[in-house]
Amino acid sequence: MRSSALGLLALAALLVGLPAAEAVTSAPLPVVVLDPGHDLRANPATEPIGPGSATRKIKDGGGTHGVVSGLREADLNLRIALRLRPLLERAGIRVVMTRTKTAGTSIGNIARARIANRAHAGLFLRIHADGSTDPRARGTHTLYPALHARWTDDVYSASRRAATLVQSELVRALGFPDRGLQERPDYTGFNWADVPVILVEVGFMTNPAEDRLLATPAYEGRAALGLCRGTMRFLGRPASRCR
Ligand SMILES: [Zn+2]
């Protein structure tokens, strides 16, 4: 009796659930803004690190480059973003890119944040690779905004949750050491964002082993898959749709 009653309830829930599921598919698609870091040229102009701030930082120092591959960080970031875009789109996400080629002077971080704000992004995903003077430094880490009244209090918790999920999927996909999460109070692109924002450092281009791997289509694909899976989990959607 009891199990058949439960079965009927489950059937009823399924039937009631069907129109709701249809309604979801006609709702506006969630938007993810992909921000491949840097560009062909650095931008030495300065900008305030947050709205109304007297502290200014350079717009873009230009990024690092591969010690073995010779690849520019801007190009690696873009390669990963261009692989991630179709994965997300096939998974039902609308993607907006801050740039689609490496061809000019970097627009700076306020401009990047404004693109994400204007798009009402569900996630503003900034893609970078790391550099260090120590060639042994290696691994993946993810940065998110520190809590700052009026600047990040509206996006702090969601950003931290996104960082946790994306870092875990990215480490799983790449197999590089897990350097964990880091809060940053000083990232202009975080402080100007009105939407959840994270910045991934996929690996170290100054580490010969990681540089060699990251310059391959296989590892760029792995990075894109990990980023897709983490993003989907953050948006409350099945990561299995990343394929
Ligand atoms: Zn960078």
The confidence band for 179, taking pLDDT boundaries of 50, 70 and 90, is very high
- The pLDDT score that the predictor gives to residue 30 is 95
DSSP 65: B
User: Any residues with CB less than 8 A from the CB of 15 and at least 6 apart, and which?
Assistant: none
C-alpha 39 to ligand 1 mean position (Å): 10
- At 161, which amino acid appears? R
Task: Please tell me the distance between residue 66's alpha carbon and the centre of ligand 1 in angstroms.
Answer: 12
Rounded Cα distance between 238 and 36, Å, is 24
Distances (CA, A) of 110 to 98, 138, 153, 186, 219: 12, 29, 18, 13, 30
DSSP reduced 3-state for 222: helix
Rounded Cα–Cα distance for residues 60 and 121 (Å):
22
Q: Which residues contact 90 (CB under 8 A, 6 or more apart)?
A: 241, 243
**pTM higher than 0.85:** yes
Element (H, E) at 131: none
Please give the distance, rounded to the nearest whole angstrom, from the Cα atom of residue 75 to the centre of ligand 1. Answer: 11
Rounded (10°) angle between helices 156-174 and 217-234? 150
Interval between CA 61 and ligand 1 midpoint (Å) = 8
Alpha helices in 139-181 (DSSP H): 156-174
Sheet with 178-184, strands from edge to edge, namely: 94-97, 31-36, 123-130, 197-204, 140-145, 178-184
| Strands 197-204, 178-184: pairing kind | unpaired
| Distance from residue 62's CA to the centre of ligand 1 (Å) | 7
- Give me the pLDDT at residue 24, please: 52
Cα(64) to centroid of ligand 1, in Å?
7
Using the mean position of ligand 1's atoms as its centre, give its distance from the Cα of residue 65 in Å: 9
Q: How far is the CA of 27 from the centre of ligand 1 (A)?
A: 35
The proportion of the chain whose per-residue pLDDT surpasses 90, expressed as a percent, equals 88
> Distance (Å, rounded) from C-alpha 243 to C-alpha 237?
14
CA of residue 243 to ligand 1 center, whole Å: 27
User: What confidence tens digit (pLDDT) does each residue in 195-242 have?
Assistant: 999 999 999 999 999 999 999 999 999 999 999 999 999 999 999 999
- Tell how far the Cα of 38 is from the centroid of ligand 1, in angstroms: 6
Cα(26) to centroid(ligand 1), Å: 37
Phi-psi map region of 105: left, alpha, beta (phi>0 left; psi -120 to 50 alpha): beta
CA 133–ligand 1 middle distance (angstroms): 15
- Read off the pLDDT of residues 110-123 as tens digits, 9 standing for 90 and up: 999 999 999 999 99
Distance 154 CA to ligand 1 centre (A): 25
Q: How far does the centroid of ligand 1 lie from the alpha carbon of residue 173, in Å?
A: 20
Cα 215 to middle of ligand 1, angstroms: 15
Q: Would the pLDDT of 28 be above 90?
A: no
Burial of 55 (0-12, 13-18, 19+ CB in 10 A): exposed
Q: What is the pLDDT of residue 223?
A: 98
